[in-house]
Structure 1
Amino acid sequence: MSQVMACIDASLSAAAVSDYAAWASLRLQAPLTLLHVLDHQQYPQHNDFTGIIGLGNREQLLRELAELDLQRNRLALEQGRLVLQAAKERVARQGVGAPSLRQRHGDLAQTLHELEGEIDLLVIGHRGEAGDSSGRLLGSHLASVIRTLHRPILVCPEHFQAPRNLLLAFDGSPSCRQGVELLAASPLCRGLPVHVLMVGSDSDEARSQLQWAEQQLQGDQPVHLALRAGEVAATLHAYQREQAIDLLVMGAYGHSRLHQFLVGSTTTQLLRASSGPVLILR
């Protein structure tokens, strides 16, 4: 990992996203880019009202509506600029030097897909601006980003706490093994105690897979192995509460029950149930 990008908006999560992005940037010793995307569905660049209103003696109304639309877009862009500036000042106070600021207009997932080559870690909030008033998570936008972006994604809650330990949900699948290797090679969580939890029946194969993960992760941090039966989501969160785990680490795709747990609507269920940050490895 060499480049951290954080999605900044006017939501209640913005401060925590800035803090987690600063934490990641400093841990990785990587440059930080703060990105604000103006949703094209909420703030279209051009509106054509002629099909609804018609022409002729209604041209003045059309001009006024177009002007209102332009003014609304200008105000939204200015708000985004101010939000980015506040985030820049916040991360600078934490020791991040010269973060880059970028502002784009379009769909969030599509924008991140276009910028994927510049991203090694994405930091994004649980909730977006629309989610704050409704009490819902970012939902389809967040799920779309997770499906679209083939980069590690750190999903943040509304309050920052520097991770002191982490729980890795492990299922032994090839993609999950790649995630273990990625985690072992990255300085992001180096030195933090790692708990590796496998949810399933106790077997020689399962224990062998856990031992493989332990060998990959062994370094200057302790590694704790656990094998538990039960429903995946409930077991993961019960273990997280029991061990006071700060950071949950999971793969976005697999070929076991974790696959069913993470893909589609269950992604939102995972994030809703998690009170702390979730690092999704791709």
Structure 2
Amino acid sequence: MVDYAAWAALRLSAPLTFLHVLDEQRYPRGDAGGNPGLGEREALLNELSSLDAQRNRLALEDGRVLLQEARQRAHSAGVPIAETQQRHGDLLHSLNELQGDTQLLVMGRQGERSGGHALQIGSQLENVIRAVPRPILVAPSTFRVPRRLMLAFDGSVTARQAVATLASGPLCEGMPIHLVMIGADTGDNWAPLDNAAARLASAGYDVRQAIRHGEVVSTLLAYQEEHSIDVLAMGAYGHSRIRQFLVGSTTGALLRSSSGALLILR
């Protein structure tokens, strides 16, 4: 994830901030000490409180070490400004507080409780995708310099906005873009696809277009593998079958199955 964040910061010519949030439910800050006069039970409660405090201190220190290592790695990759923040509380609340200064949010696909299991995605990820109104780059565990991008296009307002975002920003500049629609091979589908391609071409992109028939997830992933696509991009919350990416079990299927990064555009 750190390498993807560094790559994006360099592409955007933007300062990079690494955020570590200590979950308050797992690491509460309150004092769990006992009440006077409880005798042996008071001693046990005090001991538990002391253990909780020690666990919290260790978690904070571990977070500081992770942040320091991330900042050093980003500097080594050439990022001139890399800062760190550590908070105690709720991840979504922290991200929403910081979103005003955020161009792009980068998150790992797997959380700390995923255990490195390839079929496990982070417990917070889908909630963040739904709730944070900023572009999100979901990073796989292994970094590969992005060289090709595929945009899942359905002709909706959000898909057209995704095209506009790509055309106006430097994140994917110089990368071939594959515009792929899942549906019938008809003039009604080609018309918006051609318009989107023209918009990207006018911004200097090398654009490839395709319409494929089939089940959305498996068909897009097959195209991704066929053309060695590094980044799969899509607009958030469209009004067609592609919306299924962000609700229910389809999100998990996509995140588990995609071989590269996933870029959610707003």
- Scaled to the shorter chain, the TM-score interval is over 0.9
Matching residue's letter, 1:111: S
Question: How big is the shift at 1:70?
Answer: 0.6
Alpha-carbon separation, structure 1, partners of 2:119 and 2:57: 28
> Is residue 195 of structure 1 aligned with residue 181 of structure 2?
no
Question: Partner of 1:227: helix, strand, or coil?
Answer: strand
SS in structure 1 of the partner of residue 199 of structure 2? helix
- With normalisation by structure 1, the TM-score equals 0.89
1:275 shift after superposition:
1.6
Counterpart in the other structure of 2:11: 27
The answer on 1:78 being equivalent to 2:66 is: no
Q: 1:91: which partner in 2?
A: 74
SS at match of 1:147: helix
The question of whether the paired residues in 1 share the 8 Å contact of 2:23 and 2:88 is answered with: yes
1:96-120 Cα offsets, whole Å, 9 max, x none, are 1131110011222222122221211
Match of 1:100 among 83, 108, 117: 83
Cα gap change, 1:257 to 1:49, in 2 (>3 Å): farther
Q: Deviations over 1:10-32 (max 9, x none)?
A: xxxxxxx1111110000110110
Instruction: Give RMSD over aligned pairs.
Output: 1.7
- Contact 2:32–2:46 (CA<8 Å) still a contact in 1? no
- C-alpha deviation, 1:180, in angstroms: 0.9
Structure 1 gap segments, 5+ residues each: 1-16
Q: Contact between 1:156 and 1:276, CA under 8 Å: does it hold in 2? A: yes
Q: 1:253 aligns with which of 237, 257, 266?
A: 237
Q: What does the per-residue CA deviation read over 1:150-176, in whole Å, with 9 as the maximum and x for residues that have no partner?
A: 100000111111101100000001111
Relative distance call for 1:69 and 1:279 in structure 2 (3 A) is same
CA–CA distance in 2 between the matches of 1:134 and 1:194?
30
Task: Give the match for residue 110 of structure 1.
Answer: 93
Determine whether 1:149 maps to 2:132: yes
1:12 corresponds in structure 2 to none
Where 1:131 maps in the other structure, the secondary structure is: coil
Deviation larger for 240-249 or 36-45: 36-45
Give the letter aligned to residue 74 of structure 2: V
Percent pairwise identity: 55
Gaps of 5+ in 2: none
- The SS at the match of 2:114 is helix
**Mean Cα deviation higher: 178-187 or 215-224:** 215-224
Counterparts of 1:98 and 1:239 in 2: how far apart (Å)?
A: 37
Please give the TM-score of this superposition, normalised by the length of structure 2: 0.94
Q: Secondary structure at the match of 1:101?
A: strand
- Tell whether the 8 Å contact from 2:236 to 2:265 is kept in structure 1 after alignment: yes
1:167 is the counterpart of 2:138: no
User: Structure 1 CA distance, aligned partners of 2:120 and 2:264?
Assistant: 16
- d(CA) in 2 for partners of 1:50, 1:253: 49
- What are the Cα deviations for residues 162-197 of structure 1, in whole angstroms up to 9, with x where unaligned? 101100000001111111101111100011000000
